[in-house]
Amino acid sequence: MEHRIIGPGPYRATKLWNETIELFRAGMPQRRHRVHFKTYDNCFTAADAADWLHELLQCNQNFGPEVTRAQTIQLLKKFQKNHVIEDVKGRWGKEDFEDNGNLYRFPPTSPLKPYPKRPPQKLEPLPFPGWSDLDSLPSHGHIPVKPLVMNSELWYKRHSIAIGEVPTCRLVYRRELTAANIEEIWKSKTLSRLQKIMGLSSLNDVMDPTQAKGKHIMHNVYNVSKHGIVIMDDRSKELPHWLLSAMKCLANWPNCSDVKQPMYMGFERDVFKTIVDFYSYLQEPLLTFQLFDVFVNILGLQQKKTVAVEALQVCCLLLPPENRRKLQLLMRMMARISLNREMPPLRDSTGNRALMVQTFSRCILRSKEEVDLGELLSTQLVTFMMDNFQDILNVPSSLKTSVEDYITHQRRVQIKYPGADMDATLHPTFLQPQPPKHQYEFEKLRPQDPAKIVLEDIIKNKDMSSKEKKKKLKQFQRCHPQIYRERLPTPESEAAVFPEKQTLKSQLSFFTLKRPFQSFQRTRSFRM
């Protein structure tokens, strides 16, 4: 039975578990064994099972040659606990499998794991309509054009400006984006980019999108050092100073300028043990339990290295900032140790590169249930991340530019013409939704006076602050004094624009620019 490559998709970890069980049951050699004058048919020794399964995993492209025999033994222990195998006396349910000559066999039925049923995720409403349209655009910037049948009326509306007529329009002012709006934009765009890279129809099957936080993403993008390492605002979440010194010592070995203690034989091993002790006591892996399925699915993209790197770049932005910082510092130390030829072996039986992967895989990625192939998958992922950590733990510039451009676009003023909605597929426009009370009947205004439409919108916009409204009215007055004078001919009509009660100082400061001589004369007569 040949293995198949399981790419990204829902329940990838479960599919790999079931695939491995089926391959093991179909290919594991079984024969008659005699123990203590008793014969057992269709069974195999524990050592033979470890040999055969270890070779299978190393040759399987879903796992790779980094799988160790010790990890294979751990997997066989899980097999026994989950009744994939049992001893010849029918006993199972305990993790007492050892690499020896004890006899095991397969139970009559294969206990494949059922696919979990995820509760349907309620999608949060996006603060701006049309985000899904924007996120569906290709990354290279071309806008998909749908066939559009254009009659004579629609043609006239689209070309009326070119032939000299300005149709009825509506000027839409953007509200100021709040911090929550910007965080939601970052969250939506990041999740959309991740979904597109992974080629999934939805992220609901691999993660809970509601758990992603735009605040974390923004912190990971902007609060970084010149080397790209996340900087923590809360010092209580920072790594201990002694741990940073220990990691820096091994990363820069043998140039440990910060080490003041005299070094001795085996000093580097003691320093390494100190680091291992700290990371081994983490209650949750650095890549978090919630994102386990996402990272497992990214492993299915390893055949396309650039795609896998980009997916990991985006996914690592979802991590809490303290996790991302710990991961960045740990990965940098691991990569430098594995490539440092001057570093002596930190363990006699294992090379430094393999030691880094075996030691820290569990604290970087593992599943919460621990009844699957977590150890094998984490080994594969950590190896890939360690070899490409400089690219993976950088902020993807294309995503950052895309989000910043979109935020800038949301803050601009746009003019809406009749028939613009019909052209949404050609030129998608994303507007801040307004309550019905702010929808004005612009169609009643004369189409030949678009400046009046602008002035009327400023006057009737109740969401605009008084300070901002005064500023825009002054700008309009300088550009269109005649139209301004027709609409607001008296001080009383100007004051009526502002519903709140104004002080004498604010009224004088607003009208002084319009009638400086009159204001000066009034002040002079008062002094006399």
In a domain, 139, yes or no: no
Q: What angle, rounded to 10 degrees, do the helices at 241-251 and 267-280 form?
A: 130
Q: Specify whether 239 is located in the same domain as 162.
A: no
The three-point CA angle 27-28-31 to 5° equals 125
Helix (H) or strand (E) holding 188: helix 179-198
Q: Specify whether 343 is located in the same domain as 433.
A: no
3 state DSSP class of 409: helix
For 209, residues 6+ apart whose C-beta sits below 8 A from its C-beta are 121, 123, 124, 191, 203
Q: Specify whether 435 is located in the same domain as 489.
A: yes
Instruction: State which of 400, 425, 440 marks the end of a domain.
Output: 400
Domain of 83: which CATH number? 1.10.10.10
The token duo for 450 is 């678009």
Q: Specify whether 201 is located in the same domain as 315.
A: yes
In a domain, 422, yes or no: yes
| Beta-ladder partners of 414 | 172
Number of domains the chain contains: 3
In a domain, 49, yes or no: yes
**pLDDT in 10s for each residue of the chain, 528 residues:** 566 788 787 788 888 888 899 999 999 999 999 888 889 999 999 999 999 999 999 888 888 888 888 889 989 998 998 889 998 888 888 878 898 889 999 998 877 877 766 555 544 444 444 444 444 444 444 434 444 455 555 545 555 545 455 555 565 655 678 899 999 999 999 999 999 999 988 898 889 999 999 999 999 999 999 888 999 988 888 899 999 999 999 999 888 765 555 578 888 999 999 999 999 888 899 999 999 999 999 988 888 889 999 999 999 999 999 999 999 999 999 999 999 998 999 988 888 999 999 899 999 998 887 666 778 888 889 999 999 988 998 999 999 999 999 988 887 766 665 555 434 433 333 334 444 433 333 333 334 466 777 788 788 887 788 888 888 888 888 877 888 888 888 888 888 887 655 454 444 444 444 444 444 444 444 444
Residue 454: closest CA among 422, 416, 491: 416
The secondary structure of residue 99, as a DSSP letter, is S
3 state DSSP class of 172: strand
Q: Specify whether 315 is located in the same domain as 464.
A: no
In a domain, 410, yes or no: no
In a domain, 54, yes or no: yes
In a domain, 450, yes or no: yes
- Residue range of the domain that includes 377: 180-400
Q: How many CA atoms lie within 13 A of 118 on its CB side?
A: 14
Q: Tell me the one-letter amino acid at 140.
A: H
In a domain, 185, yes or no: yes
Q: Specify whether 190 is located in the same domain as 328.
A: yes
Instruction: State which of 400, 432, 457 marks the end of a domain.
Output: 400
Residue 391: closest CA among 292, 300, 313, 279: 313
Q: Specify whether 337 is located in the same domain as 432.
A: no
Q: Tell me the one-letter amino acid at 396.
A: P
CA distance 350 to 346: 8
- Residue located via tokens 């940073």: 244
Q: Specify whether 430 is located in the same domain as 305.
A: no
Could you write out the DSSP letters of every residue in 260-276?
-SPP-TTHHHHHHHHHH
429 neighbors 420 (Cβ within 8 angstroms)? yes
Q: Specify whether 434 is located in the same domain as 473.
A: yes
CA distance 381 to 390: 15
Could you write out the DSSP letters of every residue in 473-509?
HHHHHHH-HHHHHHHS-SHHHHHTT--SPPPHHHHHH
CA distance 87 to 222: 56
Q: Specify whether 491 is located in the same domain as 510.
A: yes
Distances, alpha carbon 262 to alpha carbons 257, 274, 345, in Å: 12, 17, 20
Domain of 388: which CATH number? 1.10.555.10
The pTM score is: 0.64
Q: Specify whether 465 is located in the same domain as 374.
A: no
- Sign for the CA dihedral angle at 470, 471, 476, 481 comes to positive
Instruction: State which of 74, 105, 136 marks the end of a domain.
Output: 105
Q: Tell me the one-letter amino acid at 64.
A: G
3-state helix, strand, coil in the chain (%, to 5): 50, 5, 45
Burial 129-162 (b: 16+ CB within 10 A, else e): eebeebbeeeeeeeeeeeeeeeeeeeeebbebee
The secondary structure of residue 137, as a DSSP letter, is S
| Beta-ladder partners of 202 | none
In a domain, 5, yes or no: no
Q: Tell me the one-letter amino acid at 2.
A: E
Q: Specify whether 22 is located in the same domain as 99.
A: yes
**Alpha helices (H) along 43-126:** 46-59, 69-81
